[in-house]
């Protein structure tokens, strides 16, 4: 029962990918321990104190009925839970017993840059047979996690939880405390998975549209609307069902190291108030979490306390953490974490009695991408926040409309109610855009479209006053975003802070489940740094899905210059997601203070989900000198969608 108590010398490519391993099972001197996860419930182990010895080694595991190769810490998958105390200095001696370089990154911990554990920035990595000593002070408390930042070792098992216990009592009570760590496992070598995605980005997507879907679309949207929509997707060479790059076809989803067949088990006492510390340690999987029949009160995110929010369901991006308090009755409950694409789930049972059981719910419907997830609508209805699913195009004659004289920059669409408009029957074949001014959203020269260039906005910034970030501010694209390496751009991206996300938007109406949104989150303590930002950085998350190429502002990490910040300055970063994938973005070394609506209680986070075709803004105080990594935390996006942030 897991009942926890009341060096710069590396190239950019080496920094991201690290050394690869082609070792086979037969070539390794195996430990006698072999994990058999088919018939037993695995519980997390814990280590307490301020001095730790951690060994990174190979291990055999069995999650699917056959043995597979893993890389683990102290022969555990997940690795041991590390219990620390706020105010202490911790020392960790990490020994690498692999045949390739390794590392440990202490995700979310504010520490000196040389202790951050990122090869190529913080240090040179840990060579085979060597020991590296991490040492740093703990000036924070909360729920965090650690993982390898070398190659794809995070996918093969090097991850574990950290709990930093606070010096002062927390503003809520609980009787027992569980870590709930979510992850994804594949028997496939992660390098093979990556190679398949590079050759065919939708290799693992088995939910392509069927003839039945086509007839349903014609019935609901009309023939012309359906054909126009099909043509759009075909021209973009994208699929509206492509929600996750890697799916349950190869992944087995784990909860504290347990497969869905067995599930994890957490036992509480009758009448207990239970704290659940959710951590998404997956490589590529975003989860939607609920406990049927049980309300959750969210009290912390990414280790930082927030004002309590009562919800039924929340989305947890890769690398995010959420702490919730639940008050179960004298019965069993299923902790259910379904993936964003609904191709699989992880589960556990929370129960006061080992003889009790709970039903495992069915997964929700599999979502599909909408026009709003593209950050535009048919290239002309670029109105932030519009729901075009109910707009009736059949009665709209655009053939006589002259858009060349329309100034959209002065139009306030925030008060427009388009909920009764049905786009589905709109015939776009008669639309004449020849006179329309496309200066703000020119497309590349592909499929006969115009090629245009602007500047890379990664390092360029704009001075701003108190007006700051606007939800309908115009979007500019850098010249580096045009070309074969970028296949789409969001021209009028939505503000994603008030959006629960694809597949969750109708859950209140459909199921009666309140879903957590970023706009629900307020910091527990008042905003510490209340200075207005002196400048604003716009960073676009870009890629070519067909070629499986990922970047920031159209530039891959290995070709990009660092983002330079001045020590002590206060800036605003606006992330614009030009892709149709959900990206969890992690900035090392400093807090990302997410602008959720209340400037007096801004929540601190270390990882932020940016919805497809949307944008999000946060404030950063550059109070930690050094070289820091800044990247999408989806493992196979990271080689390209990354930057170095240099604070000096």
Please provide the DSSP assignment of 264-324 as one string. EEEE--TT--EEEEEEE--SS--EEEE-TT--EEEEEETTEEEEEEEESEEEE-TT-EEEE
Radius of gyration of the chain (CA): 24
Q: How far apart are CA 376 and CA 383, in angstroms?
A: 8
Secondary structure element (H or E) that encloses residue 228, with its range: helix 223-236
Q: How far apart are CA 97 and CA 131, in angstroms?
A: 9
8 A C-beta contact, residue 314 and residue 209: no
Token pair belonging to 553? 């502002």
pLDDT at 491: 85
8 A C-beta contact, residue 457 and residue 553: yes
Q: In terms of Cα–Cα distance, which of 633, 481, 491 is closest to 543?
A: 481
CA dihedral 458, 463, 467, 469 (to 10 degrees): 0
Q: How far apart are CA 530 and CA 619, in angstroms?
A: 10
DSSP 547: T
pLDDT at 193: 96
CA distances from 133 to 115, 124, 147, 502, 616 (A): 9, 13, 16, 43, 37
Task: Collapse the DSSP code of 133 into the 3-class scheme (helix H, G, I; strand E, B; otherwise coil) and give the result.
Answer: strand
Q: Name, in order, each residue with C-beta under 8 angstroms of 566's C-beta and a sequence gap of 6 or more.
A: 622, 647, 648
Please, what is the angle between helix 211-221 and helix 223-236, to 10°?
130
Looking at the DSSP bridge assignments, the partners of residue 82 are 47, 162
pLDDT at 228: 59
Burial of 576-597, coded b for 16+ CB within 10 Å and e otherwise, reads: bbbbbbbbbbbbbbbbbbbbbe
CA distances from 169 to 107, 140, 164, 508, 604 (A): 24, 13, 13, 35, 20
Secondary structure element (H or E) that encloses residue 572, with its range: strand 570-577
Looking at the DSSP bridge assignments, the partners of residue 463 are 535
pLDDT at 217: 59
Q: What are phi and psi of 233, to 5 degrees?
A: -65, -40
Q: How far apart are CA 163 and CA 331, in angstroms?
A: 28
**CB neighbours of residue 62 within 10 Å:** 16
Q: What are phi and psi of 546, to 5 degrees?
A: -60, -40
Token pair belonging to 574? 């606006």
Token pair belonging to 78? 């997940």
Q: In terms of Cα–Cα distance, which of 337, 180, 175, 172 is closest to 266?
A: 180
8 A C-beta contact, residue 295 and residue 309: no
pLDDT at 188: 97
DSSP 350: E
Q: How far apart are CA 16 and CA 557, in angstroms?
A: 9
Q: Name, in order, each residue with C-beta under 8 angstroms of 398's C-beta and a sequence gap of 6 or more.
A: 380, 426, 428, 430, 431, 432
8 A C-beta contact, residue 344 and residue 248: yes
pLDDT at 205: 85
Residues of the chain with pLDDT under 70: 1-39, 208-240, 371, 373-474
**CB neighbours of residue 441 within 10 Å:** 19
Token pair belonging to 58? 């190979």
- Give 210-234 pLDDT, tens digit per residue: 555 555 655 666 666 656 555 555 5
CA distances from 588 to 43, 105, 324 (A): 30, 10, 25
- To the nearest 5 percent, what fractions of the chain are helix, strand and coil? 15, 30, 55
Q: What is the total residue count of the chain?
A: 648
pLDDT at 39: 53
In terms of DSSP bridges, do strands 287-290 and 313-316 run parallel, antiparallel, or are they unpaired?
antiparallel
Q: How far apart are CA 230 and CA 228, in angstroms?
A: 5
Phi-psi region of 309 (alpha: psi -120 to 50; beta: other; left: phi over 0): beta
């Amino acid at each position: 029962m897991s009942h926890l108590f009341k060096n710069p010398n590396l190239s950019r490519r080496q920094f991201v990918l690290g050394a690869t391993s082609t070792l086979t099972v037969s070539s390794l001197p195996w430990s006698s321990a072999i994990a058999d996860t088919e018939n037993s419930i695995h519980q997390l182990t814990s280590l307490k104190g301020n001095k730790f010895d951690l060994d990174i080694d190979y291990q055999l595991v069995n999650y699917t009925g056959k043995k597979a190769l893993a890389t683990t810490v102290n022969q555990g998958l997940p690795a041991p839970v590390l219990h620390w105390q706020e105010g202490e200095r911790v020392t960790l001696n990490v020994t690498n017993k692999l045949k390739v370089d390794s590392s440990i990154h202490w995700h979310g911990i504010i520490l000196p840059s040389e202790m951050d554990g990122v090869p190529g920035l913080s240090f040179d990595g840990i060579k085979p047979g060597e020991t590296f000593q991490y040492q740093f002070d703990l000036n924070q408390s909360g729920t965090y996690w650690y993982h390898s930042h070398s190659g794809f070792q995070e996918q093969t098992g090097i991850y574990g939880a950290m709990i930093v216990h606070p010096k002062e009592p927390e503003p809520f009570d609980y009787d027992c405390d569980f870590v709930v760590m979510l992850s994804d496992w594949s028997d496939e070598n992660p390098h093979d998975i990556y190679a398949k995605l590079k050759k065919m980005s939708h290799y693992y997507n088995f939910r392509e549209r069927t003839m039945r879907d086509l007839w349903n679309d014609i019935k609901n949207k009309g023939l012309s609307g359906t054909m126009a929509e099909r043509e759009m997707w075909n021209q973009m060479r994208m699929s509206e069902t492509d929600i996750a790059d890697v799916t349950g076809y190869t992944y087995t989803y784990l909860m504290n190291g347990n497969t869905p067949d067995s599930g994890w088990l957490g036992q509480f006492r009758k009448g207990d108030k239970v704290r659940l510390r959710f951590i998404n340690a997956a490589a590529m999987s975003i989860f939607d979490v609920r406990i049927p029949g049980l309300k959750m009160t969210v009290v912390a995110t990414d280790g930082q306390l927030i004002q309590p929010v009562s919800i039924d369901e929340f989305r947890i991006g890769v690398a995010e953490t959420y702490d919730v308090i639940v008050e179960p009755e004298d019965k069993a409950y299923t902790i259910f974490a379904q993936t964003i694409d609904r191709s699989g789930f992880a589960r556990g049972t929370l129960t006061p009695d080992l003889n009790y059981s709970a039903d495992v719910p069915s997964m929700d419907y599999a979502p599909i991408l909408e026009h709003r997830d593209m950050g535009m609508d048919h290239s002309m209805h670029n109105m932030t926040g519009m729901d075009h699913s109910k707009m009736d195009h059949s009665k709209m004659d655009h053939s006589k409309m002259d858009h060349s004289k329309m100034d959209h920059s002065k139009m306030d669409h925030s008060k427009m109610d388009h909920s009764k408009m049905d786009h589905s029957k709109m015939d776009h074949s008669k639309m004449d855009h020849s006179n329309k001014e496309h200066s703000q959203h020119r497309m590349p020269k592909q499929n006969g479209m115009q090629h245009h260039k602007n500047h890379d906005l990664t390092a360029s910034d704009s001075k701003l006053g108190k007006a700051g970030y606007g939800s309908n501010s115009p979007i500019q694209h850098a010249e580096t975003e045009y070309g074969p390496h970028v296949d789409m751009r969001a021209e009028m991206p939505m503000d994603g802070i008030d959006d629960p996300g694809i597949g969750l938007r109708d859950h209140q109406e459909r199921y009666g489940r309140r879903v957590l949104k970023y706009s629900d989150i307020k910091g527990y303590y008042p905003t510490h740094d209340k200075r207005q930002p002196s400048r604003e950085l716009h960073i676009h998350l870009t890629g070519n899905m067909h070629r499986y190429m990922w970047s920031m502002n159209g530039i891959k990490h290995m070709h990009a210059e660092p983002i330079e910040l001045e020590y002590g300055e206060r800036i605003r970063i606006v992330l614009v997601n030009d892709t149709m994938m959900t990206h969890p973005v992690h900035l090392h070394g400093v807090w990302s203070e997410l602008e959720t609506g209340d400037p007096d209680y801004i929540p601190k986070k270390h990882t932020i989900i940016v919805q497809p075709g949307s944008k999000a803004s946060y404030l950063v105080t550059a109070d930690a000198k050094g070289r820091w990594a800044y990247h999408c935390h989806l493992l196979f996006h990271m080689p390209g969608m990354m930057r170095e942030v240099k604070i000096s």
